[in-house]
Homo-oligomer: A and B are copies of this chain.
Amino acid sequence: MTSPANHVSVNGRTYRRKPNPVVVVCVDGCEPEYINEAIEAGQAPFFASLKERGTCLTAECVVPSFTNPNNLSIVTGVPPAVHGICGNFFWDPETREEVMMNDAKYLRTGTLLAAFADAGAKVAVVTAKDKLRSLLGHKLRGVCFSAEKADQVTQASHGITDALALTGMPVPSVYSAALSEFVFAAGVALLARDRPDLMYLSTTDYVQHKAAPGTPAANDFTAMLDRYMGKLDALGATVVITADHGMNAKTDALGRPNIVFLQTRLDAWYGDGATRVILPITDPYVVHHGALGSYATVYLTGTRERDEVAARIAALPGIEAVHTREAGSARFELPPDRVGDLIVVAERLSVIGTTPERHDLSGLDAPLRSHGGVSEQKVPLLANRVATDLPERRWRNFDAFDLALNHLP
């Protein structure tokens, strides 16, 4: 390895290289209150210690407050307008197909992980679900694997051959808290063994979709998180913890989901086929949320007056705001060519569905909690070092590497 430069520039930002390992952790669905309540319950001593010896900011994630747009923002340092990933699905009006966006061909810029690796840094990425792996590992010369498929790694594809042996854990179920624990256990083992310069760990929000902050299952999850963060800290890493999005109850007082079936409404108003509602939360793993989030985008395939449609949607109970493609893309920094004619955001306690028959809620064994809207935009941005001379600015979760590399001692 040649002697590395002191800085790496990527996507318009310059990052310092640091002598000690830096770990950025994205805790899926980590509403700030999960941590705060676990501290109150005495189950998070590492987090509690950060009041004295760390940094705590309340940052804003990308809207739609979904997993992929935010994970990609964190590892590129820029919003979806630049990197192109604004959901799991978009509608291709040319081919008239719903297109899944979890292939790296949809990524419009490189990651800072790949840039650091190209500059000679040792980089490792561990993610919970495999759906994120090919995006996060795009052109990355380093370690990159998922807990979900830790038993199917190859040196050529994943930069590692013994991912499963790292932890001593079996491959966890994709619907389990253990899937996230595997990520942390692997991260700690990699840090101890390989001392990567830069590591990115990203979990799944299976627990957060079911358990409210302060309830036993949530506190147990946060206690697990706390133990592993303490281990990363004890191994000498600079650790920055953030989230892809928050999480809120989406139910009425009796626990029944508040769902706006938007395609049903639009079909009743304008007829079948005149509009198409896309729910970019939809992915192959929907058992725990029924593909119900607080964000949708609407394509008008007919000749409808857009402002009139927007006003009718905005008047529906449970809808917080409707933006045109142009206004919404500007406000949320999204790629206009991958959103519909309208962007629809639901209120904090509501979600948007298409039609009742297209949502299988049979897997919801707890009252629905979900995300996607502006109401889930506030996320923690924590570090195990005291930041010096922190600028007063709108901090984003995709400033996590900037904070870690440029603002911490």
A→B interface (CB under 8 Å): 30, 32-33, 35-37, 39-40, 47-48, 50-51, 56-58, 212-215, 249, 251-256, 258, 317, 347-349, 366-367, 375, 378, 380, 382, 392, 394
Contact = CB atoms under 8 A, between A and B. Distances in A.
Contact of A252 (B56, B255, B375, B392): B56
Contacts of A254: 35-36, 39, 47-48, 50-51, 56, 382
B214 A36 contact: no
Contact of A40 (B35, B366, B380): B366
Contacts of A249: 32-33, 36, 213
A251 B214 contact: no
Given A348-B348, A348-B378, A56 B253 contact: yes
B36 A252 contact: yes
Contacts of A35: 253-254
A253 B31 CA distance: 8
B32 A251 contact: yes
B349 A375 contact: no
Nearest to A242: B253
Contacts of A212: 33, 37, 212-214
- Name which of A32, A40, A47, A254 has the most chain B CB atoms within 10 A of its CB: A254
A149 B252 CA distance: 35
A292 to B, nearest CB: 16
Nearest to A49: B254
Given A40-B367, A212-B212, A58 B380 contact: no
Given A36-B253, A214-B214, 6 more contacts: A32-B249, A36-B252, A57-B252, A58-B349, A253-B380, A348-B375
A36 B251 contact: yes
Contacts of A215: 37, 214-215
12 contacts: A32-B251, A35-B253, A36-B252, A37-B215, A39-B255, A40-B366, A47-B254, A48-B254, A56-B253, A212-B212, A253-B380, A317-B392
Contacts of A366: 40
Q: Which of A33, A382, A392 has the most CB of B within 10 A?
A: A33
Given A33-B212, A348-B348, A253 B394 contact: no
